[in-house]
Chains A and B, each alone.
Chain A
Amino acid sequence: MEQSTAPAIELKGISKAFGPVQANKNISIRVMPGTIHGIIGENGAGKSTLMSILYGFYKADAGEVFIHGKKTEIPDSQAAISAGIGMVFQHFKLVQNFTVLENVILGAEDGPMLNTSLSKARGVLKKLAQEYELNVDPEELIENLSVGHQQRVEILKALYRQADILILDEPTGVLTPAEADHLFRILDNLRAEGKTIILITHKLREIMEITDTVSVMRRGEMTATVKTAETSPEQLAELMVGRKVLLHVAKEAANPGDKVLEVENLRVVDEDKVERLKGVSLNVRAGEILGIAGVAGNGQSELLEVLGGMIPATGTVRVNGQEIDLTGKNSDGQSRRARGIAHVPEDRQHEGLIMEFAAWENVAFGYHHEAKYQSGILMNNAAIKADTAAKMERFDVRPPNPKLKARNFSGGNQQKIVVAREIERNPDILLVGQPTRGVDIGAIEFIHKQIVALRDAGKAVLLVSVELDEIFSLSDRIVVMFDGQIMGERDPATTNEKELGLLMAGITDTSNAQMEAKQNG
């Protein structure tokens, strides 16, 4: 009888430090069986670290874990699985060129021969599919599946291992709203069957929609645990950041001028011969911010990469009325910069910065040919360092040390270095991708203000973000991308999240019925 009263999971006093950084501080939490418990917090609040400890990825410095009332040691993933814990990571842990079936049995095979395991799994999968609306073709290769279906495979993996506690880390980040709805239906079914679910997210809406209880994390600490029914989004937001947040950027109405950037019928085919952009046309005027909304992976990245000179494309792009080279010798990033295009890339760690370079070397990155950085045939390192020190002061980069390697700055400060470098070139066009991903709240406000200031100075800004909030608060116009195409344009003043959500799922009025059928198939 103890089983029914003991919490499915109880953590007592969990602490974990990485070097000088305290990722988790004395965290305690109780989750009752058959409930959905949300954990909400900003990026870097320590949510993922906590769950990684629960899944045996990290060893906690202090604290205890109880599963169904029993003290449990979790030194590795194997132990977590035996304790009945299943985890769906933000980045799926699937073997791309294996079938669904092979992925499901991997590590949970029956005996040394594959055939027996495969035929058994086939039967189990069929049953699970019916029970929980988890339909996937077991013989299909993972690389041929949509992101939503891949996520189902991850859930199937956990269920196949008879997990009764399921942890999902930011599960909706890569899903369309429709796919997210489907996921929540699955979670509902699982709860009804008595499974315990922990949902990690930074989206308040999801917490309110599905969880029974919710814990808030801030800077490695658990600041509150409340019943979802007894709280409000505003209260949670305040608990998350420790102060009242301005969700909207204060800005005047736009004063658009001439078309600075004109894109017509842009097409990109990638190395695997997949068409990533299928004839995109848009334009951005001086003095306005065009926001591009969409679920990650629908061509927004490629659009930025083409305009930034990172990949070739076909079609026509005009900057200030003059056509630019999309495939030839003048299609690289240097030529783009020469044409007045600056680019804050989506991935600052792999594109925007060289993590092993010092801050000053990064400030010249992409602009290392500029005359002011040269002295004779050599580079004028002293000039670059001086410039860096000045930029660091203006953008409040901490610590303000030009000699520090990029990787030793926090995410927000790294992003400030990139933004400072690009904005201070005073470009005609600024391309911005995910400007505040992994950036703390304070830096977000600062970066948003800089982007708006550039717009007010009469420059064109093309913003790509998967955060609808960000799109809403910055954009003067919004276009939605889906499957390499533009689904439509909306005015942020008159549209709403639901309307954009449908567009992001590829549902315009005419294709509505079609897509519904596809989603459920």
Chain B
Amino acid sequence: MDKMPAWADAVLVPLFSIILAAILSALVILAIGESPVDAFKLMVDGALMRSAGWGYTLYYATNFIFTGLAVSVAFHASLFNIGGEGQAMLGGLGTALVCLFIPWPHWSLAILGSAMAAAAFGALWALIPAYLQAKRGSHIVITTIMFNYIAASLLNYVLVNVLRPTGSMEPSTAVFPEATHLPTFRDMFSTADTILFRGAPANVSFFLALIACVVVWLLLWRSKLGYEIRAFGFSESAARYAGIRPVRITIIAMMISGALAGMMAVNATQGEAERLILNGTEGAGFIGIAVALMGRNHPIGVLLAAILFGFLYQGGAELALWTNIPRELITVIQALVILFTGALDNMVRMPLERLFLSLRKKEA
């Protein structure tokens, strides 16, 4: 028998982990001489109380859904993809090329083209570390980290030397043509009388992210490929027995992962910046790790965790604006969430298991 029911493992462990992370974060805020209660109020105020706040929260959440799903898919194959950041940068490049050089008649077509390009570029950037892991046993964690930096250098080169419009001093591409601009939540949900989501960057890609959640769920739990990915992730020797080829699964899982990370660019590059800039990913690739761990690598969990981190991100920006608490507080919270949900999960789980065991004994 399992020591505790599956729902408890899926819900209680992340819940207690986030509570622990929250308590420690509050202590950190206290230690730097601010009030955690005020800080929390400010975050809620700025991120959730107005539609514009939600517009930012959901914009960030969109990024994190993509990167969180990316990390999750790789995790299911027992691969730790820390390269989401680099894959998202390359996805940005793909999006930029498609938006700049193809004369799209309408945004609805442009989003399809750019999503495919972003996915393809992200997937290709994940292909090399995947191949090296599968064929040469190179540690994918370190190679993907290195590829983040190589991607940054590559992007720097392309923006400075190739795609920068003549005369511009800024390392960025030209603004994408009007027809590729995606409708924002303001465009979609405002009526003549009430303007909602004023100035907020949330856009139609949020729905693309929701679709991605459903597709990933179908892929992992309803398709042969997902079955093979999960089997391989649990046991490589058993996968080999069943005729599931490790090299193939490693490469495919990583490419799917890279594609998802890359698609973040549809939201950040095409939807928000409307041009390709340096560091447009803003660390979303890394937050994907925390999101995946908290969401227990399940699309629904990822969705919820992404919204939570969207809130933290937007709230953190508010804090940095109005108080002396820098944005890096979010990095600390992110670190604590990763620590408690990913590495110290047994610390949370063991007491819970003991609790359920004693409950069961009482029943018996």
Contacts and interface: CB of A to CB of B under 8 A. Distances in A.
A and B touch in the complex (CB under 8 A): yes
Interface of A: 19-20, 308-310, 332-337, 343, 345, 347, 350-357, 361, 364-366, 368-369, 374, 377-379, 381, 405, 408
A351 B231 contact: no
B5 interface: no
A374 B227 CA distance: 12
A366 B241 contact: yes
Interface string B213-250: 00000100011100110110011011011111100000
A357 B230 CA distance: 9
Contact of A354 (B1, B222, B231, B245): B231
Given A20-B1, A408-B2, A309 B222 contact: no
17 contacts: A332-B245, A333-B242, A333-B243, A347-B237, A350-B235, A352-B241, A354-B230, A355-B235, A356-B234, A357-B230, A357-B234, A361-B227, A364-B227, A369-B224, A378-B218, A379-B227, A408-B2
A350 B223 contact: no
A357 B224 contact: no
B3 interface: yes
B95 to A, nearest CB: 28
Given A333-B241, A379-B222, A365 B231 contact: yes
B228 A351 contact: no
B335 interface: no
Q: Main SS of chain A's interface residues?
A: loop
B245 A345 contact: no
Contacts of B244: 333
B188 interface: no
A213 B235 CA distance: 43
B224 A351 contact: no
B357 interface: yes
Interface residues of B, number: 22
Given A308-B241, A336-B243, A374-B224, 8 more contacts: A337-B243, A351-B235, A351-B241, A352-B238, A366-B242, A366-B243, A368-B228, A408-B1
The 9 closest A-B pairs by CB, nearest first: A333-B243, A334-B243, A366-B242, A351-B241, A332-B243, A378-B222, A350-B237, A354-B234, A356-B234
A333 B239 CA distance: 9
Contacts of B357: 19
A333 B244 CA distance: 7
A332 B247 CA distance: 12
Contacts of B1: 19-20, 408
Nearest to B227: A368
Contacts of B222: 378-379, 381
Contacts of A353: 238
A123 B227 CA distance: 58
A19 B240 CA distance: 33
A357 B231 contact: yes
Interface in B235-267: 235, 237-238, 240-245
Contacts of B228: 368
B109 to A, nearest CB: 25
Interface in B46-89: none
B243 A405 contact: no
A350 B240 contact: no
A345 B224 contact: no
Contacts of B224: 368-369, 374, 379
Which of A335, A351, A369 gathers the greatest number of chain B CB atoms within 10 Å? A351
Given A20-B1, A408-B1, A345 B241 contact: yes
Nearest to A377: B223
B234 A355 contact: yes
Given A20-B1, A357-B231, A365-B231, A351 B243 contact: no
Interface in B79-113: none
Given A355-B235, A356-B234, A408-B1, A343 B223 contact: no
Given A19-B357, A334-B243, A368-B227, A350 B238 contact: yes
Which of B1, B3, B238, B240 gathers the greatest number of chain A CB atoms within 10 Å? B238
A350 B242 CA distance: 11
Nearest to B240: A310
A354 B243 contact: no
Contacts of B231: 354, 357, 365
A309 B243 contact: yes
A357 B2 CA distance: 13
A335 B235 contact: no
